[in-house]
Amino acid sequence: MKTLTSMVRPDGWCKHFDFSTRSCSIYDDRPQFCRVDKDRYVQSFQIEPDDFADFAADCCAQSIDDVYGESSDVMVRFEAAQEALEVVLVPTPGRLIPEGDSA
């Protein structure tokens, strides 16, 4: 926890986040808690493995809301990307087809 708190600036952002490039300046050497990994999230946040994708998406949405706002262009793009990922697949013998498509 000491490592985590030492990385957070007074404004709440990580001191290694480069705003001009919107990237992490220590990405290859970042600590374990900065790595988005299903097993790590399940263990760290005590979530069910099947809830990982929704949990991670909620974390992203909260961050976007905090930084850019609930109605920002960034949030609109994020929500559109999330909707595009929500294609429901229907099993058919030997293959999967998106719901609503004909076989």
Cα 60 to the center of its chain, rounded Å: 5
Q: How far apart are CA 80 and CA 89, in angstroms?
A: 19
pLDDT, tens digit (0-9, with 9 covering 90-100), for 52-85 = 888 888 888 888 888 888 998 888 988 888 887 7
Mean pLDDT, residues 13-41 taken together? 85
Helix or strand run (H / E) with residue 97:
strand 95-98
pTM of the predicted protein model? 0.56
